[in-house]
Chain A
Amino acid sequence: MQVGGADQEQSILAKDLIQYKDNIKEAVKEGVFFLLICGAYQLFGKYYKDVEGNIIPGLEIFDYYTEAILDRKKRCIGNIVIEVSLNDIKTKIIGFENHGGQTFDIDTPFGDVLLGNGNKFGDNKEGFFLPNVIATYLHGPLLSKNPELSDYIIQYCLKRKYQEEIILEPLDDSFENLCRKQLIERFLKNN
Chain B
Amino acid sequence: MKNFFIILAMKIVYLGLKILGKNGGNLLGKIAYDWNPNIFRYFKINCPIIAVTATNGKTMTNNAIGYVFQEAGKKVISNTEGNNMETGILSTLLKHCSLTGKIKADYLVFEVDEGYVPVVFKDLKLDTLVILDFFRDQLDRNGEVESLILRINEFLKTYSGNLILNNDDPNVARLGHANPNNSNVYYFSVEKYEHATEKIKEAGEGKFCPFCNTRIEYEYYQYSHIGKFHCPNCNFGNNDIYKIATNIDLKNRTFQVDGITYQTKFNSIYNIYNFVAVITCASLYQIDTQILQKAIANFVLNNGRLEELSIQNIPTIINLAKNPTGANVSLRILNEDDTEKELLFVLNDNMADGFDVSWIWDINFDTLNHVSRIVTSGTRAYDIAIRIKTAGFDVHKIEPYLDLNEAVKALYQTNIKKYVIANYTSLQPTRNEILKLS
Contact = CB atoms under 8 A, between A and B. Distances in A.
Say whether A and B bind each other: yes
Contact of B382 (A9, A77, A79, A175): A175
A3 B398 CA distance: 30
Interface stretch (B108-116, B277-285, B353-361, B415-423): B353-361
Interface string A3-32: 000111100100000000000000000000
Interface string B126-167: 000000000000011000111000000000000000000000
9 contacts: A6-B144, A7-B146, A12-B213, A96-B356, A98-B140, A139-B358, A175-B395, A175-B398, A176-B386
B101 interface: no
A110 B358 CA distance: 21
Nearest to B208: A8
- 9 pairs of A and B residues whose beta carbons are closest in the complex: A179-B382, A6-B144, A96-B356, A6-B146, A175-B386, A175-B385, A77-B140, A178-B382, A144-B386
B402 interface: yes
A172 interface: yes
Given A172-B395, A175-B395, A182 B402 contact: yes
Contacts, number: 54
Nearest to B387: A144
A7 B144 contact: yes
Contacts of A172: 395
Contacts of B357: 96
B246 to A, nearest CB: 34
Contacts of B41: none
Interface string B199-227: 00000010110100100000000000000
Interface string B257-270: 00000000000000
A147 to B, nearest CB: 10
Contacts of A141: 358, 361
A122 interface: no
B181 interface: no
B378 to A, nearest CB: 12
Interface residues of A, number: 21
Given A96-B358, A175-B395, A12 B386 contact: no
B358 A8 contact: no
A96 B355 contact: yes
Interface in B184-208: 205, 207-208
A175 B402 CA distance: 12
Nearest to A73: B143
A78 interface: yes
Nearest to B215: A12
Given A9-B208, A96-B355, 6 more contacts: A7-B144, A8-B210, A79-B355, A98-B356, A141-B361, A176-B386
Contacts of A131: none
A78 B355 contact: yes
Contacts of A139: 358
Contacts of A144: 386-387, 390
A178 B384 CA distance: 12
Interface string B323-362: 0000000000000000000000000000000011110010
A78 B140 CA distance: 8
Given A9-B207, A98-B139, A144-B386, A178 B400 contact: yes
Contacts of B395: 172, 175
B216 to A, nearest CB: 12
A35 B353 CA distance: 29
A9 to B, nearest CB: 7
B383 interface: yes
Interface in B350-393: 355-358, 361, 382-383, 385-387, 389-390
Contacts of B146: 6-8
A78 B357 CA distance: 11
Interface in B100-121: none
A139 B389 CA distance: 19
Contacts of B402: 182
B140 A179 contact: no
Contacts of B398: 175
Interface in A163-179: 172, 175-176, 178-179
Interface in A141-188: 141, 144-145, 172, 175-176, 178-179, 182
Nearest to B395: A172
Contacts of A9: 207-208
Nearest to B400: A175
Contacts of A179: 382-383, 385-386
B279 to A, nearest CB: 33
A179 B357 CA distance: 13
Nearest to A173: B386
Interface string A46-67: 0000000000000000000000
Contacts of B210: 8
Max count, chain B CB within 10 A of own CB: residue among A7, A175, A176, A178: A175
Interface in B248-306: none
A175 B99 CA distance: 58
A175 B358 CA distance: 16
A6 B357 CA distance: 18
Nearest to A142: B358
A176 B385 CA distance: 9
Nearest to B361: A141
Max count, chain B CB within 10 A of own CB: residue among A6, A140, A182: A6
Given A79-B355, A140-B358, A12 B208 contact: yes
A76 to B, nearest CB: 11
